[in-house]
Amino acid sequence: MTIDMAVNLTSEMFKIAILVGGPVILITFIVGLLISIFQAATQINEMTITFVPKIIAAVIGLIIFGSWMTTKLVDYTKEVLMMIFKIVQ
């Protein structure tokens, strides 16, 4: 394995991590921001109001994007394994 291949694999790994984790993190961030605005407007500072909707939003995000995320991860894994098998042979 050359240094170029290692750098390429590392950059692909970071791209896939951001691509796969991005939708759920973004949904959770938006829900958290909306709840924070609501809490600031109503001056309600209950901690459970922030956690429960974020967890529900994350689960909904995983349900919506879960199959796409799995497909991306499986494709990346296949690509990496094919590169490893090419190196070994």
Could you report the per-residue pLDDT of 3-62, keeping only the tens digit for each?
888 898 899 999 999 999 999 999 999 999 999 999 889 888 887 888 899 999 999 999
Q: How far is CA 49 from CA 31, 54, 56, in A?
A: 11, 9, 11
**What pLDDT score was predicted for residue 43?**
86
- Element containing residue 5 per DSSP (H, E): helix 3-42
pTM as predicted: 0.79
pLDDT-derived band at 77 (thresholds 50, 70, 90) equals very high
Which pLDDT does position 32 carry in this prediction?
92
Closest to 28 measured CA to CA, from 43, 50, 44 = 50
